[in-house]
Amino acid sequence: MELAFTGLRVVEIADDPAGEHTGKLLADQGATVVKIEPEGGATSRHIGPWAGGVQDVDRSLHFWTYNTSKKSVVLPDDDEGRAARDRLIADADVLLTTGRPVDLERAGLDLEDLCERHEKLVALSISPFGLTGPWANYRTSDLVALAAGGLLNSCGYDDHSIPPIRPGGNQAYMTAASFALCGVTLALIERQATGRGQLVDVSIHEANAVTGELANPYWFYPKAIVKRQTCRHAQPLPTQPALFQCADGVWVYFALILADQHAWKALTSWMDEVGVAADLIEEEYLSLAHRQANFAHIQGLLEAFFMLQDSETVYRDGQRWGLPIGPLRAPEEVLQDEHLKARNFFVDVELADGSTATFPGLPYRFSNGNGTPARPPLLGEHTDEVLSGV
């Protein structure tokens, strides 16, 4: 079966989740991704937690997450290792790096020169602040990228005596990886027309700065600064709470937009069906001004409405009424999600030792052929195989 990136040859010299996840997305969908690692293994191999609690470069769950379907080649940082690296690059369609300019120089990698010498090569650089500018050699982390890019200001709680809270899941790196995948795909499409590759310069900082949601337009136009809110979009002025506890102790998320007349009618009809609409079905509540003036009363009835029902009933009935509502789930609960199970999103992957582990599948599906994650490589597993071909 031919996948979206079948036939694409990628050399990955990446040492952070942004670059490694980009390589994973390419590899899972058919690209041959050769991950060049130092003799001790990539940094991600030394980050826990560890499968079975055994600390080992081949049992890092952090590494497994970002490196499925790849080939691992270990090269020493000497003349012989660099010569082998150069041969791999010469045979590649894409070179993926995550170093700052000073790191690339230290490694003897001149991306512009490589693109000139190998006219079909697409050099994809994913770096903290881009390859140019006064911050080009600054370091970053997921937290720094979220903070410097402005996103962290929108993350946290209603209580502003508590500092902003970093969301889990390496969101800054994942945002950059999404833009990087778009950028390299566009460069490959352009190469089909021109026959030439190019340098794609992805800045983690810029990827986050452009992802500021409402913060950017509020500042660009009315010069208003948004303020973080608990489980709600940051806004210049506080909005109503959107979390409600149900009878089974589970919280559900439901954002009531008072100005949405259709949603208001659906909500009050649903509440009336349950028998707790009270006066909300009276004609005066069809007026937005009246709803706004009596919002505390509406909120109180909503809290009682949800508390009388279990979360599963609320979820299904709310969706039946066309309202965007859903339960808050812990990551381990998502593994049991019936919809994800029905779509076979989670896959069991056989590992090198014959055991299996569950991995998330791909975030997109293709009708002409859809890939699934293959196991992450052992350190240096493919060194001899790959080098024998160049």
DSSP 104-144: HHHTT--HHHHHHHSTT-EEEEEESS-SSSTTTT----HHH
| 218 belongs to a structural domain | no
User: Tell me: the pLDDT tens digits for 322-336?
Assistant: 999 999 999 899 999
Shared-domain flag, residues 135 and 11: yes
Average pLDDT, the chain: 96
Euclidean distance between CA atoms 239 and 241, whole angstroms: 7
User: Tell me: the pLDDT tens digits for 204-255?
Assistant: 999 999 998 899 999 999 999 999 999 999 999 999 899 999 999 999 999 9
Encoded amino acid at 327, one letter: P
Prediction pTM value? 0.94
Give the HSE-up count for residue 315: Cα atoms under 13 Å, Cβ half-sphere.
13
The answer to whether residue 1 scores a pLDDT higher than 80 is no
Kind of pairing between the strands at 71-74 and 94-97: unpaired
Mean pLDDT of 58-74: 98
Shared-domain flag, residues 41 and 189: yes
Shared-domain flag, residues 137 and 265: no
User: Tell me: the pLDDT tens digits for 159-210?
Assistant: 999 999 999 999 999 999 999 999 999 999 999 999 999 999 999 999 999 9
Residue 28: which domain range? 7-209+344-386
Mean pLDDT of 295-302: 95
Task: Give the pLDDT score at 390.
Answer: 87
CB burial readout 110-141, b (16+ within 10 A) else e: ebeebbeebeebbbbbbbbbbbeeeeeeeebe
The answer to whether residue 141 scores a pLDDT higher than 90 is yes
The total number of structural domains that make up the chain? 2
Kind of pairing between the strands at 32-37 and 71-74: parallel
| 2 belongs to a structural domain | no
Shared-domain flag, residues 26 and 119: yes
Shared-domain flag, residues 34 and 123: yes
What angle do helix axes 171-194 and 17-28 make, rounded to 10 degrees?
Answer: 50
Task: Give the pLDDT score at 349.
Answer: 97
What angle do helix axes 295-307 and 261-274 make, rounded to 10 degrees?
Answer: 50
Q: Is residue 198 within 8 Å of 128, Cβ to Cβ?
A: no
Task: Give the pLDDT score at 50.
Answer: 98
Shared-domain flag, residues 173 and 316: no
CB burial readout 55-80, b (16+ within 10 A) else e: eebbbbebbbbbbbbbbbbbbeeeee
Shared-domain flag, residues 252 and 372: no
Shared-domain flag, residues 196 and 247: no
Encoded amino acid at 201, one letter: D
| 225 belongs to a structural domain | no
| 61 belongs to a structural domain | yes
Gyration radius (Cα) of the chain, Å: 25
| 319 belongs to a structural domain | yes
What CA–CA distances, in Å, run from 296 to 22, 57, 289, 302, 323? Answer: 47, 56, 13, 10, 21
CATH number for the domain spanning 168: value is: 3.40.50.10540
| 124 belongs to a structural domain | yes
